[in-house]
């Protein structure tokens, strides 16, 4: 009995600690697959995932989140990374699941990575947008962020927003907002489709491939025992704009996003002729704001 109480107190403290704190991989993440191919490094500040011919590897957050700002610094597989896919995403469980995806599709040496993004709500996905990056993502760590609040899912790269998926429930578009999600990351082989449509295969003579993660930060509401615990001040209306909870794009960040989209977007489901022929999803027909 005393042990149970003590454990309860410890668990409560661990939860408080998990809220709004710079992440430590030892504390906040667990390897989920890869049989030792994923390794925590640098006392928990970093984590390396590896991929060889036998297997890739992956990890997940221990906590489940219901809204938050999640940042991760990633250095992608250098050199010939054709056929490799590095992922960083939030996902809930079950068939009608929600999911917010960053996926990095490798390429042969000297050719650019593709950054693939997608949003699933109630099991419905097919909302892909793809980008080139404006830097070499294998030379240094860059920060990839997801801001997820009740009105927006904002994807950002080094603080520059590249995509804003808005809550258009009023127009019948599902939005991820009721299912807690964990953070997942993985490095795996998908040479049947990932690089140049599957034409370029993985060159295993370069294995093992390594993708490095660090700077995991979850300023997020954590689910524990069915309750949502948010960092202090998260929903403070007087602090509008100071918190991710109220975050939307300012005029300036909106203009930066549009600039990135004009210069670096290489695929948009809303303008895909095949999708246009099928009838576009409702959110594609909502006019972007004109500013
Ligand atoms: C790889 O490079 C080719 C040639 O530049 C490009 O067409 C392709 O989109 C790049 N990315 C992937 C993932 O295939």
- Domain ranges in the chain are 22-289
User: Is 124 in the active site?
Assistant: no
pLDDT of residue 10: 44
What span, in angstroms and rounded, lies between the C-alpha atoms of 260 and 134? 9
Q: Tokens 């409702």 appear where?
A: 282
pLDDT of residue 22: 64
Length of the chain: 291
CATH code, residues 22-289: 2.60.120.200
* Exposure of 87 in the CB half-sphere (CA atoms within 13 A): 23
CA of 153 to the centre of ligand 1 (A): 27
Ligand 1 site, residue 84, Cβ cutoff 6 A: no
pLDDT of residue 234: 87
Give nearest CA residue, ligand 1 atom 8: 196
pLDDT of residue 6: 44
Q: What are the structure tokens assigned to 181, written together?
A: 């999600």
User: What are the CA-CA distances from residue 218 to residues 47, 75, 244 (Å)?
Assistant: 16, 19, 11
pLDDT tens digits along 31-83: 999 999 999 999 999 999 999 999 999 999 999 999 999 999 999 999 999 99
Q: Chunked in runs of 10, what are the mean pLDDT values of the chain (291 residues)?
A: 43 43 86 98 97 98 97 98 98 96 97 98 96 98 98 97 97 96 98 94 97 96 93 73 84 96 98 94 78 37
Give nearest CA residue, ligand 1 atom 4: 111
Ligand 1 site, residue 195, Cβ cutoff 6 A: yes
| Angle value at C-alpha 192, between 189 and 197, nearest 5 degrees | 115
């Amino acid at each position: 009995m005393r042990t149970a109480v003590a454990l309860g107190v410890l668990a409560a403290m661990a939860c408080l600690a998990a809220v709004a704190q710079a992440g430590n991989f030892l504390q906040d993440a667990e390897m989920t697959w890869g049989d030792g191919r994923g390794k925590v490094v640098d006392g928990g500040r970093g984590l390396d995932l590896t991929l060889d011919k036998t297997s890739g590897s992956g990890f997940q957050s221990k906590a489940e989140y219901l809204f938050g700002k999640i940042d991760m610094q990633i250095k992608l597989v250098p050199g010939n990374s054709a056929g490799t896919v590095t992922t960083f995403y939030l996902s809930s469980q079950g068939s009608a699941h929600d999911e917010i995806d960053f996926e990095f599709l490798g390429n042969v040496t000297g050719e650019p990575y593709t950054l693939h993004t997608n949003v699933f709500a109630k099991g419905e996905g097919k909302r892909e947008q793809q980008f080139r990056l404006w830097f070499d993502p294998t030379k240094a760590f860059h920060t990839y962020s997801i801001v997820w609040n009740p009105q927006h899912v904002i994807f950002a790269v080094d603080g520059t927003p590249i995509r804003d998926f808005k809550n258009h429930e009023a127009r019948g578009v599902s939005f991820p907002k009721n299912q807690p999600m964990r953070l997942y990351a993985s490095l795996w082989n998908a040479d049947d489709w990932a690089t140049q449509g599957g034409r370029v295969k993985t060159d295993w003579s370069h294995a093992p491939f390594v993708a490095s993660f660090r700077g995991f930060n979850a300023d997020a509401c954590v689910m524990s025992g069915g309750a949502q615990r948010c960092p202090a001040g998260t929903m403070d209306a007087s602090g509008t704009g100071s918190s991710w909870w109220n975050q939307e794009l300012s005029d300036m960040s909106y203009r930066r996003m549009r600039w990135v989209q004009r210069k670096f977007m290489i695929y948009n489901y809303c303008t895909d002729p095949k999708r246009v022929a099928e009838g576009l999803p409702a959110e594609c027909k909502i006019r972007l704001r004109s500013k």
